[in-house]
């Protein structure tokens, strides 16, 4: 079971630190990896930050690390359970 956290607000060291503490508190949910991402800040200095803790069960490669960013720059972080992965 993975751990996911997000923060919407000012992109600053105080909020980065808060998100790091949240992620650390979820370490038991995802001991196999951790990742973070933050959006570029808007004109006010606000944006979005994600943190994710990974529990690797099926896909042990680094390609399954999160948050995931596609070639267009879209970002996704999720629990990682894709039940029809064999069909896909």
State how far the Cα of 41 lies from the Cα of 11, in Å rounded to an integer: 6
Contact 29, 23 (CB under 8 A): no
Q: How many CB atoms lie within 10 A of CB 84?
A: 6
Which DSSP category does 40 fall into? P
State how far the Cα of 48 lies from the Cα of 71, in Å rounded to an integer: 19
Is residue 2 among the annotated active site residues? yes
Active-site residue (options: 2, 4, 5, 49):
2
Residues annotated as catalytic are 2
């Amino acid at each position: 079971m993975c751990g996911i956290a997000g923060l919407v607000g000012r992109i600053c060291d105080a909020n980065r630190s808060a998100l790091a503490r949240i992620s650390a508190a979820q370490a038991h949910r995802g001991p196999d990896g951790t990742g973070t991402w933050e959006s570029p800040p808007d004109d006010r200095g606000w944006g979005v930050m994600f943190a994710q803790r990974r529990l690797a069960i099926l896909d042990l490669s680094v390609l399954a690390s999160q948050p995931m960013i596609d070639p267009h720059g879209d970002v996704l972080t999720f629990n990682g359970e894709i039940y029809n992965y064999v069909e896909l």
